[in-house]
Amino acid sequence: MQDAVQDKVLEPLNGLPVLCHSVLTFLASNCIDRITIVYRDQLQKTKLLAALSDIDLQNIPIDWTLGGAERQDSVYNALHMQPTSCTHVLIHDSARPLISIKSIRALHRAAIRDSAATLAHPVVDTIKRIADPKQLNQTELEDLERSRLWAMETPQAFALPEILKAYKHVRINKLHITDDTAAVARIGLKTTLVANDTPNIKITTADDLSYAAWLLHRDS
């Protein structure tokens, strides 16, 4: 966020902190029994608790776990917080406040059926690959077949035993991954793509907050 805000998941968005928008949508989907929130430090946890106190959590239990150095460490910690009764998990980036009930339900059905699923959308831009990310001048551009390219979103959903097995494999072998589908791919599990046709932007810059506010206003 280039220091534009202190904590993007706590920034106000149409009257509610960013985090609360996705929490409310998950609750309204009727697809979850509990929520686990990964926090950075005790100060952030205190602020997150205060933010959640302003919404109706419908008596859904909230678990808390400390994050790790990388995203994959945070997910690993959260997975190990799940009770023995848990069969499936939906892993979501709280900086994506516009997730829809329809998308959550579609992803939930796919995960129950196929054990691994993710929201995604087809890439519409022409994407080129270069050999050296530091060499931008007069570099060779490799064409990629756009019809086969999909941009990953969250939530990503899995049968708990499978995603736990995948993250243990990642941890033991000291692998670096950028999303959860990459973890299950490392143990040979295929993922179902659930096409998402609604805005599900990730708040990355200050301008994204303004765009998200406009989208919420447009759809209200």
Say how many CA atoms lie within 13 Å of 137 toward its Cβ: 0
Taken in order of first residue, the domains within the chain and their CATH numbers are 8-219 (3.90.550.10)
Q: Provide the 3-class DSSP secondary structure of residue 178.
A: coil
CA-to-CA distance for 25 and 122, rounded, in angstroms? 24
Q: Provide the 3-class DSSP secondary structure of residue 132.
A: coil
Reported pTM: 0.93
CA-to-CA distance for 95 and 204, rounded, in angstroms? 8
Q: Which parts of 92-180 are beta strand (E)?
A: 116-122, 128-129, 142-143, 150-159
Query: Under the phi-then-psi rule, with left for phi > 0, alpha for psi from -120 to 50, and beta for the rest, what region is 173?
Result: alpha
Do 213 and 13 meet the contact criterion of CB atoms below 8 Å apart?
Answer: yes
Query: One digit per residue, pLDDT tens: the chain, 220 residues?
Result: 455 567 999 999 999 999 999 999 999 999 999 999 999 999 999 999 999 999 999 999 999 999 999 999 999 999 999 999 999 999 999 999 999 999 999 999 999 999 999 999 999 999 999 999 999 999 999 999 999 999 999 999 999 999 999 999 999 999 999 999 999 999 999 999 999 999 999 999 889 999 999 999 888 7
Crossing angle of helices 101-114 and 18-29, in 10° steps, is 60
